[in-house]
Amino acid sequence: MPEFQNIGLIGRTESESAVNSLERLMVYLEECGYQVVLEKGTATSVSSGNARVSAKDKMGELCDLVIVVGGDGSLLGAARALAQFSVPLLGINRGRLGFLTDIGPDEIEEKVGEVLSGKYMAESRFLLDMSITREGRQIGKGCALNDVVLHPGEFIRMIEFDLYIDGQFVYKQRSDGLIISTPTGSTAYALSGGGPIMHPKLDAIVLVPLNPHTLSSRPIVVEGSSEFKIIVGEHNPTKPYVTCDGHNQFITQPGDVVRIHKKPQRLTLIHPIDHNFYETCRSKLNWQNN
């Protein structure tokens, strides 16, 4: 019996190229005898054929493997929805950068075929859980594979907050916000904010201040088991926002408490057997031309 038999497909349906790759992939999988499970939104843009249709958050119960066709954003969304299950994810890049979706559109049959035959690398990644409490009552929660970000929201105004790590006071900061990033997210927004690139195998979290008022405030790397508490300042001229991977946006009020820690469940990413993190950095970040 093959390791993967029920294959879920999630696609970036607003992209014509992604839809073309999805249809090509569906034909290939069905010709090879696999049962295809289409995500409900994806099924509105492709011919479902003999495929089953499922809500995204139910695919973890039906699938042995989920293939995401799109950009890193598409895979992030799938990761948040499926993190509670043990189903692994494989990405086909139809976006721009493609740090997480590392199979090219011209090698779908070759690389997907290798993975389905057992020739692949499995990589474990952790996510972050976030919750917001107001006067002791939880008002919002979310999870992130890349990062949780506190930022000014609609207006470019400096905000103030207190940061605690493992119950210890770190600082009161005035800045444009704070990025709390996993190693997966270290090549995303955190990198643009001046944070370090972290190898995906690291059990660490990086905190990157956004344009801090005190120029000596620099990124901090702490152990992955750390627990963070951010208290929104009482005198902010605007109400800061909290986002998870750029989604699940919450508007805070003075005195709100944002708590962040590692999610108990981990995500398994599947890569082709020749995957190399440093080669990905060289090609995606254009290191070879520097």
Ordered DSSP codes for 133-146: EETTEEEEEEEESS
Torsion of CA 165, 170, 176, 178, to 10 degrees: -20
pLDDT attached to residue 289: 65
Q: Give the integer Cα–Cα distance in Å for 274 and 200.
A: 16
Q: How confident is the model at residue 285 (pLDDT cuts 50, 70, 90)?
A: confident
Cβ(140)–Cβ(172) below 8 Å: no
Q: 127-264 belongs to which CATH class? A: mainly beta
Q: Which of 57, 64, 72, 147 is catalytic?
A: 72
**Average pLDDT, stretch 145-167?**
93
Burial class (CB within 10 angstroms; exposed 0-12, middle 13-18, buried 19+) of 251: middle
Task: Please tell me the pTM assigned to this model.
Answer: 0.93
Cβ atoms within 10 Å, residue 140: 18
- Which residue is associated with the tokens 């999805």? 22
**Average pLDDT, stretch 205-209?**
98
**Average pLDDT, stretch 106-110?**
93
Cβ(59)–Cβ(72) below 8 Å: no
Write down the CATH number for the domain with range 6-118: 3.40.50.10330
243, amino acid identity: T
Catalytic annotation present for 72: yes
The answer on pLDDT for 281 being more than 80 is yes
pLDDT attached to residue 222: 98
List of E strands, 83-233: 89-93, 120-134, 137-144, 147-151, 159-165, 168-175, 177-181, 204-210, 220-223, 228-232
Lowest-pLDDT range of 69-73, 142-146, 197-201, 228-232: 69-73
pLDDT attached to residue 246: 92
**Average pLDDT, stretch 255-281?**
95
**Average pLDDT, stretch 135-142?**
96
DSSP 8-state code for residue 103 = B
213 vs 143: which has the higher pLDDT: 143
The answer on pLDDT for 97 being more than 90 is no
CATH 3.40.50.10330 residue spans of the chain: 6-118
pLDDT attached to residue 63: 96
Q: How confident is the model at residue 1 (pLDDT cuts 50, 70, 90)?
A: very low
CATH 2.60.200.30 residue spans of the chain: 127-264
The pLDDT mean for the chain works out to 93
pLDDT attached to residue 244: 97
